[in-house]
Structure 1
Amino acid sequence: MTLAFLALLGVAACSPTYRNHGYVPPEIDLAQVQVGQTTREDLPALIGRPSAQGLLTGSGWYYVGSRWRRIGPAAPQEIERQVVAVSFAESGVVSNVERFGLERGRIVSLSRRVTDGSVTEISLIGQLLGNLGNFQAADFIE
């Protein structure tokens, strides 16, 4: 009986546990955001407040969410990350909505809605995520 209990306890200790961090609005809520019509003041009621905001005046709002897995005593591992970036025109109207994922250390655009032109500036989050995987050991050895 004791041996069976210890075996069951060992198996339970090695089962993965998952934790979610941050918030990314679901696609059904993002569909309510109309590029070229929705304003900065409308967004909190539609999709909630952002996880982060751009440092420059008029820059975007960023919703960041990640999922972590932990198995036994091993360190937690990030298994999924999504970033939703909402950009604004100078008038405060939404000009772009993009959803990014992280696949094998590279940023992958999952969806994008743009009115005029493309993204005009690289955000702080974009710069940080863009540098993942760009470092090599030789850069630090010298």
Structure 2
Amino acid sequence: MTSAFSVLRPQRRLHVLRHLRRAGLSRRSWTGILAGSALLLSGCAPPIPRGALIDKEDYSQLTPNTSTQSDALSTLGSPTTHATFNDNTWIYVSMTKDLVPLSHPAVDKQQVLVLNFDNGGVLRKMSILGRHDAIPVRMVNDKTPTPGTQISVIQELLGNVGRYNPMSSMGSTFGGGMGGGGMGGPMSGQGTGQGGVGNTMQ
């Protein structure tokens, strides 16, 4: 593995070593500083676009009371989603996230374009929402209790009393249980049937 120090030209290497000696840093310390800097800079990456990439030039071509749904499809493409109870409300969501070293990606830019059409498919209203219009939703850590799920130690110990049936375990051991025609066994027709001893093998 080639270190960052060995990549330098020989003259530049001597120059760097002189400055390091004056500063009281060894070559190993300098290599550690470079490695740490490279690790931190490795988290720097270009912003990550999410959703529909919509520019102002795109939606400015749409005019309320004139443009139609087909115009919106040809200009912006399919919407990200529709309103829950109204298919005539089209929503385009675009978001840009930045990678933060040693953390979750942070939202840098967020934009929501809402197009409201009438039943004839004509654009009636266009709204542009930004990050400041978003309502933060916090997760609730409460739990809904379910009746009957909390069992004490005594209930757990005494819960199976009276449920044990030796015949059921014996039937499962031999491949069957007490049937309508008799006691089942590994042979399908074997057992005491109605009217005599039944056996399919003759």
TM-score w.r.t. the length of structure 2 is: 0.48
Amino acid aligned to 1:86: L
Amino acid aligned to 1:83: V
Counterpart for residue 72 of structure 1? 101
| 1:90 maps to which of 105, 110, 119 | 119
Which structure has the higher relative contact order (CA within 8 Å, separation 6+)? 1
Counterpart for residue 35 of structure 1? 64
Amino acid aligned to 1:60: T
Answer whether contact 1:24 1:83 (CA < 8 A) is retained: no
Amino acid aligned to 2:83: G
CA distance in 2, matches of 1:73, 1:7: 13
Cα displacement (A) at 1:10: 2.6
CA distance in 2, matches of 1:29, 1:136: 36
Counterparts in 2 of 1:1-142, with a 5 A limit? 1=5, 3=31, 5-15=34-44, 17-103=46-132, 107=133, 129-130=134-135, 132=136
What is the DSSP-based 3-state SS (H/G/I as helix, E as strand, rest coil) of the residue aligned with 1:44?
helix
Answer whether contact 1:18 1:69 (CA < 8 A) is retained: yes
Task: List gaps (5 residues or longer) in structure 1.
Answer: 108-128
Counterpart for residue 121 of structure 1? none
Pair 136,29 (structure 1): closer, same or farther in 2 beyond 3 Å: closer
Offset from partner CA, 1:65-91 (integer Å, 9 cap, x none): 111122222111112211000001122
Answer whether contact 2:40 2:101 (CA < 8 A) is retained: no
Amino acid aligned to 2:51: G
CA distance in 1, matches of 2:102, 2:139: 29
What is the DSSP-based 3-state SS (H/G/I as helix, E as strand, rest coil) of the residue aligned with 1:50?
coil
Moved more, 34-43 or 15-24: 15-24
**Structure of higher CA gyration radius:** 2
Offset from partner CA, 1:73-132 (integer Å, 9 cap, x none): 2111112211000001122100011110013xxx0xxxxxxxxxxxxxxxxxxxxx44x2
TM-score w.r.t. the length of structure 1 is: 0.66
Aligned length: 115
Amino acid aligned to 1:35: P
Answer whether contact 1:39 1:93 (CA < 8 A) is retained: yes
Answer whether contact 2:69 2:117 (CA < 8 A) is retained: yes
| Structure with greater strand share of residues | 1
Task: List gaps (5 residues or longer) in structure 2.
Answer: 6-27, 143-202
